[in-house]
Chains A and B, each alone.
Chain A
Amino acid sequence: MAVAQAKLDAAVARLAGLDLPQGGWSGGARADAVARLQAMGLPAKRDEYWRYTDPTTLTAATPVAAAPFDASDEAQLFDAIDRVRLVFVDGVFDPAQSDDPVAAGVELLSQAADIHWAQGLYGTLEARGQNPVARPLAALNTAAATEGVLIRVTGQVAKPIHLVYLQESDTSDAILHHCVKLEEGAELTLLESGPGAARFNQVLEVEVADGARFHHIRIQGRDHDRRLATHIFARLGAESLFKSFTLTANGVMTRNEAVLELTGDDAMAHIAGAALGNGDYHHDDTVFITHAAERCESRQVFKNVLRNGAVGVFQGKILVKPGAQKTDGYQISQCLLLDEAAQFLAKPELEIYADDVKCSHGSTSGAIDDTALYYLRSRGVPLRQAQSLLVLAFLAEAIDEIEDEGIAGEIRLRLEAWLSRQDG
């Protein structure tokens, strides 16, 4: 299918407006990304996977201004955890507020060295993830990112690494690209909280070698005006584990894409999200999981709680390649509509080319169960608290994907706080 000329022109124009880094160890990958983007064009409303989400504000030359959000009424997340904090302000690393990255075995994305381990990773998984569905914002990111972290893990990392995103400027336009490489048997927990810019484009590439384990928890919120496009590209080796959970509360525009590829036998990939939106809020989870090996398990658990005109989108696909026998794929997307003005659009897809597989998917949207609400109230639980209990119950399956009980508890408190702030 020919790509519309307007999309191609838009890509060229967008690239022309950026100061693209050249040369160095990532120069080749960046040049390839530029070429990819020029061939696929920028996303447009007509594209199959942009039908429910308008990409205009994500692709425009300049971001829509967004006031930084003061979240000081709540404790910093993950404060109870002994962790390495790396702070990015408006998408730029801030050493003054951060722990020492070098001591933690973390490098910052730079062009400096000519030979670098990340050479085989930077832009590589992103490029693999462009087929069969184009992800132009990710190619743009690979071409243009100057900030990010490069983490290579060979053993078990004792402390989680926490990437903290703060916003100071109304017009910040952040592009971050992180690469994580877990060598055989290694283990890492990556925490993120933010988003921390008026517009934020992020790519996270994760290579999980045989027997390695990657845990990822991120919080996107409570900033209301920001716009956000993220991509996770992960490739999983044999008997490896990938677990990712995202909480999104507020945000006028969020598009979270995840492209996970199970390439080694007996690997396990779980991706979950809980999204809460009120009013002018658009949230989109777009997931593509490829089973290319035997006996792998994947789970997609996405829950939205929406009110007052908020819109939720879920586009989730499980692709089971020929030979990927004994695949166990599960996908659920559910929305709790707190009033009649909210809207949830779901597009679940299964594509299976192996005969001995177990795949299930389901999608529902509905209101709070009135009978359950009455039952709770008849026991003396006030309306607000009863609603909050039922919303948390609705989200439980997603939160259960967080292995660390302490973090899960913090997330629950966040959710309760969000619910108690909503009026009406």
Chain B
Amino acid sequence: MLEIKNLHVKLEEDDKVILKGVDLTVEAGKVHAIMGPNGSGKSTLSYVLSGRDGYEVTDGSATLDGVELLEMEPEERAAAGLFLAFQYPVEIPGVGNMTFLRTAVNAQRKARGEAELSAGDFLKIVREKAKALKIDAEMMKRPVNVGFSGGEKKRNEILQMAMLEPKMCILDETDSGLDVDAMKLVADGVNALRSEGRAFLVITHYQRLLDHIKPDVVHIMADGRIIKTGGPELALEVENNGYANLLAEVQ
């Protein structure tokens, strides 16, 4: 589904190179996890895939179902089925959460040539999904993420994902800031979306989330590269021993 080949990325503004040849393939129906030390380039990878400004791809490619992502506008990537749950969800004063969600859902449907959801249908679906994530009606009325707690912001990301039903979901540290119960809610939300045609790339620092969302494959990223790929046991090894051994191996 997602195929990243030899991806090299530097900052547009200066010469700092962040991704130094990332190779990664996520198959449909699978859950992949990425772990790695702070500053290794995990968020950068997710931003570059979703089309954020400020980065320059100097080499390599990234395709979604064979279609080159890196040439597309961010909204086209979203319509193609890519979704990024942000490590730091953005606050948008003045734009209601509900308006935002409806606009996004209908924009994607329109881009795919589907009919827009009626206001009634939309409300019905959103209420049901919000309830599952314990997001109350009052939060839906507030401006996007404004005044939300850290955990509320993360749950709001998952609500967006549930509404947009993307096929490739990237979750950047969605577990950080969540209490134990909220982590369970979020994991249930993700697991409910797991299906044959959908894949997940879960960026995390902790085994905890992976207890709930069982990964098929675990990658270790360090200094802009994937330095090791393995099964779920790799996450346990990191949890127990940190990154020192893994880093030493590749030296």
Contacts and interface: CB of A to CB of B under 8 A. Distances in A.
B228 interface: no
Contact of A382 (B53, B91, B107): B107
A378 B93 contact: no
Contacts of B86: 375
B73 A380 contact: no
Quick one: which of B92, B143, B164 has the most chain A CB within 10 A? Answer: B92
Nearest to A374: B52
A378 B74 contact: yes
Contacts of B164: 379-380
Given A370-B53, A374-B74, A380 B108 contact: yes
Nearest to A396: B94
A378 B94 contact: no
Contacts, number: 76
B92 A394 contact: no
Contact of A377 (B78, B92, B99): B78
A386 B107 CA distance: 10
Interface residues of B, number: 29
Contacts of B160: 379
A377 B94 contact: no
B84 interface: yes
B51 A378 contact: yes
Most chain B beta carbons < 10 A, residue from A376, A379, A383, A386: A379
Interface string B75-113: 101110000101001111111000110011001100100
How would you classify the secondary structure of chain A's contact residues: helix, strand, loop or mixed?
A: helix
B50 interface: yes
B138 to A, nearest CB: 18
Nearest to A384: B75
Contacts of B111: 380, 382
A369 B78 CA distance: 20
A376 B92 contact: yes
Contacts of B51: 374, 377-378
A380 B100 CA distance: 11
Contact of A380 (B53, B78, B99): B78
Contact of A379 (B78, B93, B94, B143): B78
A106 B99 CA distance: 42
Given A370-B53, A374-B74, A375-B86, A381 B103 contact: yes
A372 to B, nearest CB: 5
Contacts of A371: 90
A380 B94 contact: no
Interface string B100-131: 10011001100100000000000000000000
Nearest to B91: A372
Nearest to B82: A378
Q: Among A375, A380, A389, A393, find the residue whose CB has the most chain B CB atoms closer than 10 A.
A: A380
Contacts of B107: 379-382, 385
Nearest to B54: A370
Contacts of A104: none
A378 B79 CA distance: 9
Contacts of A374: 51-53, 74, 90
Contact of B73 (A377, A396, A397): A377
Given A371-B90, A393-B94, A382 B75 contact: yes
A390 interface: yes
B48 to A, nearest CB: 12
A390 B95 contact: yes
A379 B160 CA distance: 8
A371 B53 CA distance: 9
A408 interface: no
A8 interface: no
Interface in A352-408: 369-372, 374-383, 385-386, 389-390, 392-394, 396-397
B59 to A, nearest CB: 23
A243 to B, nearest CB: 21
B103 A378 contact: no
B90 A372 contact: yes
Contacts of B78: 377-380
B149 to A, nearest CB: 18
Nearest to B103: A381
A397 B94 CA distance: 8
A295 to B, nearest CB: 30
Contacts of B53: 370, 374
A372 B51 CA distance: 13
B92 to A, nearest CB: 5
A390 B92 contact: yes
Contacts of A397: 94
A238 to B, nearest CB: 35
A145 to B, nearest CB: 40
Contacts of B95: 389-390, 392-393
Nearest to B86: A375
Interface in A218-270: none
Nearest to A379: B104
A385 B92 contact: no
A376 B100 contact: yes
Nearest to B112: A380
B94 A375 contact: no
Nearest to B101: A379
Contacts of A379: 78, 100, 104, 107-108, 160, 164
Contacts of B94: 390, 392-394, 396-397
30 contacts: A371-B90, A372-B92, A374-B51, A374-B52, A375-B89, A376-B92, A376-B100, A376-B104, A377-B51, A377-B74, A378-B50, A378-B52, A378-B77, A378-B78, A379-B78, A380-B107, A381-B75, A381-B104, A382-B107, A383-B73, A383-B75, A389-B100, A389-B103, A390-B92, A390-B94, A393-B92, A393-B95, A393-B143, A394-B94, A397-B94
Per CB-CB distance, the 4 closest pairs between chain A and chain B, nearest first, are A393-B94, A380-B78, A377-B74, A380-B108
